[in-house]
A and B are shown apart, each in its own frame.
Chain A
Amino acid sequence: QKEVEQNSGPLSVPEGAIASLNCTYSDRGSQSFFWYRQYSGKSPELIMSIYSNGDKEDGRFTAQLNKASQYVSLLIRDSQPSDSATYLCAAYTGTASKLTFGTGTRLQVTL
């Protein structure tokens, strides 16, 4: 079982719609969670981090964390073509002192 799992996609949403990206993790010791965006041929860049159960909003982005279900999600409201990218979910585990990434979900926002 992969430590951090994501659906590889592609997830296709029309412009202006809400894109919902999901991630599950296996290590209950994971303490904090990160969403990175990676455009093709570029490096990952941080979009959101979340550490507590519940929702965290930043502009058009909302991260949701449910530690009981070991589930993290990222909602993108009013999706734009420029949001088309691969979104990487990552979990930090203190015992291993490392960030573990999922394989990413490719998002396509269509006109």
Chain B
Amino acid sequence: DTAVSQTPKYLVTQMGNDKSIKCEQNLGHDTMYWYKQDSKKFLKIMFSYNNKELIINETVPNRFSPKSPDKAHLNLHINSLELGDSAVYFCASSQIASGASTDTQYFGPGTRLTVL
């Protein structure tokens, strides 16, 4: 049973295109996240949603728009893709907002985005 799943696993596209990445968790968690991991392996939070409500919106270009249709799903839509968007994007989930005493974030397998 996959706890946090993402599709697609790989995404290769041209500059200027619009693409979406989907994430689903079957853990019953209330909070979901999007992270970006660059080529230097730095993992940085982009967004988090708690029960479909946006709670973290880091300094991310507004070309990136998260959407949470329900608490088990958090999708990421990217408009007008740029070369610098190439990275691995990880979805994660946790029971409650990150960092509570027994909270753990569970990561999806990642989506490797390559913009040509």
Contacts and interface: CB of A to CB of B under 8 A. Distances in A.
B44 A101 contact: yes
A47 to B, nearest CB: 11
Contact of B105 (A97, A99, A103, A104): A99
A88 interface: yes
A32 interface: yes
B98 A98 contact: yes
B41 A43 contact: no
Contacts of B40: 103
A102 to B, nearest CB: 8
A51 interface: yes
Nearest to A38: B41
Contacts of A103: 40-42
Contacts of B98: 92, 97-99
B105 A43 contact: no
Contact of B56 (A92, A98, A101): A98
Interface in B87-116: 90, 97-101, 104-110
Contact of B101 (A32, A46, A97, A99): A32
Question: Chain B: interface secondary structure?
Answer: loop
Given A43-B90, A46-B104, A104-B41, A97 B97 contact: yes
A86 interface: yes
B15 interface: no
A98 B48 contact: yes
A98 B45 contact: yes
A42 interface: yes
Interface in A58-109: 86, 88, 92-94, 96-101, 103-104
Nearest to A97: B97
Interface string A38-54: 10001111100101000
Contacts of A88: 43
A32 B101 CA distance: 7
6 contacts: A32-B99, A32-B101, A43-B110, A92-B99, A97-B97, A103-B42
Which 7 A-B pairs rank lowest in CB-CB distance, beginning with the nearest?
A92-B99, A43-B107, A101-B43, A99-B98, A103-B42, A32-B99, A46-B104
